[in-house]
Structure 1
């Protein structure tokens, strides 16, 4: 009786938590002045869901080094963010192309003009006067100091060494700021005069941050000449209509799946529906945390993974029914069903993940979005099917609410 009561409490608490998370995720919540955003507010929507401009830039040079392409992408990202654009997505496509998706912006002529200019790197004193330019820097490197903190090493050329020596001698205890296209990169404080043409910039938040700044300093300006390959504009009305229609289609599809599972598998179908609800919550949380930009192909990938999650539950329940039909007890049939279905679930999902990885690395644009949502969804669907559904079924067994074969749709003579 203690086990039954404890399992009942655990089951009720689990259902309440899943329902609460689903409600908060759908509607958001305000507690004492603190707002918990809904999934619609948290997840970045792509151009096809809110409208905007997509610019595809192509490198003019035939031979492009990967590090040059990456630096060009970083500089273009800085430029487009200087325009005041949020939720911008800058990605590389192939070896010579960079795509910039700018939701909510429709003045593509001004954007293309801003992206195509050469750019300028300058060092400024506290009054904003120019001290050095990118032409005075020999190279910038990422290093670690004695405390294992990331720093940026600077080396000046002959002309830059003299300028930097004069500047650091004059501004000891003050800041020298480094700008790219009037966008502040970093503003380190001068601790002592630097006369040998080598300096170290400390205070970087992470090694990735240090690498990014060092790459931009190395570039000085756009390291590669770019030209506009294509410009695509999605109107705000089209985008505004696409998102609610996509959400509506997704909700109808999920509801139909739940109805099928409940009618065909009865109480286990209800448990699977609970697990699938948690699955959708986890997937959307992962999208928000990772910063996935949701597009129509991405929604298609999400719905596909929901189908894969349902498929995993169907495999499990069919295995359980096969075990029950041989005369085994419900508990032993459940254990055997999960164990025997595991290999089939792993095989089908791992092959899909491999396909998703290939699509992500070889694809571009919307294909990448589809692949990313597919990979995240498949991994989480395996977790919910193997762990969450199993937990719910065993809890229900301990409660005594699925202790008969008939409750799984199996009739014994």
Structure 2
């Protein structure tokens, strides 16, 4: 009849205890937050008496994960930026000119002298002195076209070339413009993320909105103007000679060198010469491609100045590695296989297509690829955030208190069992949010309050079903067992449909909507667990102790 195996009982209480312990740091939010910040500061900047005191304020054997507070609760800055993707078209054409000129110079006998001619932005016009050689010029320049490395551009090339009298007209193809727009926004997104992460802000929201916009929300920052200044900072990209590769971060780099970590290889550090060969300011472009063996790689191209310096260095250092360094971290350290004249090269390695694309994005992340226009900006003060927290606490307390009183008045002892499960349910929710580093927003608090109602709803269905079973003159043990069994389908139906809604909100929403979806989805999982396992276990333990002949629900 009413029996639960011992191992199941132990497992249920262990789960409840574990997540309750994970939730405890949120009761001492300021102290634990100071502890976590001090730990990070000691690792990166060294120990001070103040930092050591902050670390000692929270026991090391206790978990220290916190539920992060969103922009509307902590205060901070909100920006909506538009990326001017059209700026990149002209840059691409300017960067293509040296390659076109070099290719046509080899056919000077046929096409004559070449020079640029005025044309609209986003197009490259090249004038040849022998119009009768136009067919050959078109053939040569079309040979410079590269296949587009995107799903939407399969079978297409990046440039279109046509002839008008004695002038070649070169422009980006529509498929390449689409791929370029996508890469430009991704690149801008990566730069913005790296700039904001470098400041050390907690849980920023940086995500793409639509085709060419970026949503930026940073809790804890002073103002939107301060955030705009951070985003405007240029990332530092350099190409440096490698002295050696080490695993000890305390290794002395030596005079004129510096020690920098590797992004992809944990625990690996590179000693590089402090003076770069070339910098990201001299990099025109970097695109994902494939090497001669069909393996993913990355093509890059420097401007005239960078090409000369890079060519001279590769000529004199064949077989030596050189490091691509972004913000004092090595993102790649390829070995120079041969002299690379002309400023174009290829980076090969054990890349997947996705990794080569990401590396190309990182290489281009030395500076914003296009102008950012800020369409919307807001500053939310910490006082307003604290008001939101206080209002959320009041709403949660009033709602939970009303539910507790209703359950106790309506179902008596069974209602108090449901209230215990409700308290564990809320603790488990905060434990899970702390474990995954989730962000709590004002709509997220609404999701928690809604979860309280849904958790009680499951218990109401179970208790009402037990009442119905008691009317059939079955014994109390059988009535309880059937009550749980026959309420299961109704509870699962309602919770599964609500959980699907939460998943859709999370997938299609952004910012606060996602915060609501996360707390709602987690609340559904924890409420089903507490309703079916925790309340049942408590009732079984009570029943085994009291052995009542009759019960009242």
Q: TM-score, normalised by structure 1?
A: 0.77
Aligned match of 2:191 = 75
Within the alignment, does 1:400 sit opposite 2:545 as a pair?
Answer: yes
Aligned match of 2:473 = 327
Residues 365 and 158 (structure 1), Cα distance of their counterparts in 2 relative to 1, 3 Å cut: closer
Within the alignment, does 1:376 sit opposite 2:490 as a pair?
Answer: no
Cα-to-partner distance string for 1:49-103 (whole Å, 9 max, x where unaligned): 1211111112345997555544432221112223343332212334433221112
The answer to whether the 8 A contact 1:47-1:102 is kept is: yes
2:80 to 37, 44, 56: 56
Q: Highest CA radius of gyration, 1 or 2? A: 2
Residues 286 and 207 (structure 1), Cα distance of their counterparts in 2 relative to 1, 3 Å cut: farther
Aligned match of 1:186 = 330
Give the deviation of 1:230 after TM superposition: 0.9
Aligned match of 1:166 = 313
What root-mean-square deviation, in Å, do the aligned CA atoms of Structure 1 and Structure 2 show?
4.2
The answer to whether the 8 A contact 2:239-2:325 is kept is: yes
Residues 174 and 138 (structure 1), Cα distance of their counterparts in 2 relative to 1, 3 Å cut: closer
The answer to whether the 8 A contact 2:68-2:440 is kept is: yes
What is the SS of the residue equivalent to 1:156?
A: strand
Give the deviation of 1:34 after TM superposition: 0.7
Partners of 2:11 and 2:321 lie apart in 1 by 62
What is the SS of the residue equivalent to 1:309?
A: helix
Give the deviation of 1:156 after TM superposition: 3.4
Q: TM-score, normalised by structure 2?
A: 0.59
Residues 136 and 304 (structure 1), Cα distance of their counterparts in 2 relative to 1, 3 Å cut: same
Aligned match of 2:21 = 21
Within the alignment, does 1:198 sit opposite 2:346 as a pair?
Answer: yes
2:373 to 206, 227, 231: 227
Within the alignment, does 1:217 sit opposite 2:363 as a pair?
Answer: yes
Cα-to-partner distance string for 1:108-161 (whole Å, 9 max, x where unaligned): 223224425776644334214242537365424799xxxxxxx98433349889
Higher relative contact order (CA 8 A, sep 6+): 1
Residues 37 and 239 (structure 1), Cα distance of their counterparts in 2 relative to 1, 3 Å cut: farther
Aligned match of 2:510 = 364
5+ residue gaps in structure 2?
Answer: 33-55, 87-176, 242-272
Moved more, 283-292 or 333-342: 283-292
Q: What number of residue pairs does the alignment pair up?
A: 390
The answer to whether the 8 A contact 1:91-1:99 is kept is: yes
Partners of 1:209 and 1:278 lie apart in 2 by 43
What is the SS of the residue equivalent to 1:36?
A: coil
Within the alignment, does 1:131 sit opposite 2:278 as a pair?
Answer: yes
Partners of 1:208 and 1:386 lie apart in 2 by 43
Cα-to-partner distance string for 1:356-398 (whole Å, 9 max, x where unaligned): 233333333322222222222223322322333333333333x
Aligned match of 1:148 = none
Partners of 1:283 and 1:98 lie apart in 2 by 31
Aligned match of 1:34 = 60
Residues 77 and 112 (structure 1), Cα distance of their counterparts in 2 relative to 1, 3 Å cut: same
